[in-house]
A = this chain, B = another copy of it.
């Protein structure tokens, strides 16, 4: 079966940059080893061609699940890559998505299209197919800026978590060398007012930590108020 058009059309694909974190670990990214040409055997971002009746996001989630077994993630559009030379097969435009997930909750599983699937540490990446190293770098930058102004990452922790866990999470995302100052991290996070105290640890061989959970409704309310405030007082750009 063939499909014919009056004008030539680029092929359209989606690619997924899935970041994974577990407690205390470094930031990782989910890659597949390609089972077909081009770049057969080469590591790459999971992704594939967009079908006619699905949205871009649906395509990204479908390819992700088909190739890696990973499902139920909140992805977000990253950028669309359209350099005419980016794919040796011809003109292929790719819409990239990204997400940050809890490693432990997302066991991987290779399938038909991929010979192999694996989490790689951000600091120790192989050379990737196509322009995927570049896409990944853009995604890392985006993740690290996003973490600055949005309460990202709460989904990576258990429903109830300690401030130390949260701090470790931030340190991992930001890839800091020195740990952040504990006192100041706590003050800042708590001052935001989006954490609810919900209990404390039991059975640990040290002072039990308070447990918190993320108060989503409060967050949304504050976000609205903050927007009003921004409009009133103008700008405070940070360079």
Query: A residues touching B (Cβ–Cβ < 8 Å)?
Result: 1-12, 49-50, 52-57, 77, 79-80, 82-84, 91, 93, 95, 147-151, 170-171, 174-176, 178, 180-181, 184-185, 188, 192, 194, 219, 222-223, 226, 230-239
Known: A4-B3, A192-B239. Contact between A10 and B50, CB under 8 A?
yes
Instruction: Report the copy number of this chain in the oligomer.
Output: 2
Enumerate chain B residues within 8 angstroms of A178, measured Cβ to Cβ: 232
Known: A50-B82, A84-B54, A230-B148. Contact between A235 and B188, CB under 8 A?
yes
Enumerate chain B residues within 8 angstroms of A91, measured Cβ to Cβ: 52
CB distance from A66 to the nearest CB of B (A): 16
Known: A56-B82, A84-B53. Contact between A148 and B239, CB under 8 A?
no
Complex Cα spacing A170 to B236, Å: 11
Complex Cα spacing A219 to B222, Å: 31
Could you pull out 27 A-B pairs where Cβ atoms are within 8 angstroms? Answer: A2-B5, A3-B4, A3-B7, A5-B5, A5-B11, A7-B49, A9-B12, A12-B12, A12-B93, A50-B82, A52-B84, A52-B91, A56-B80, A80-B95, A147-B235, A149-B239, A151-B237, A174-B230, A174-B235, A175-B231, A180-B234, A180-B235, A181-B233, A181-B234, A185-B235, A192-B239, A223-B239
Counting chain B CB atoms within 10 Å of each CB, the highest count among A12, A80, A151, A175 belongs to A80
Question: Among B84, B185, B223, which residue has its beta carbon within 8 angstroms of that of A234?
Answer: B185
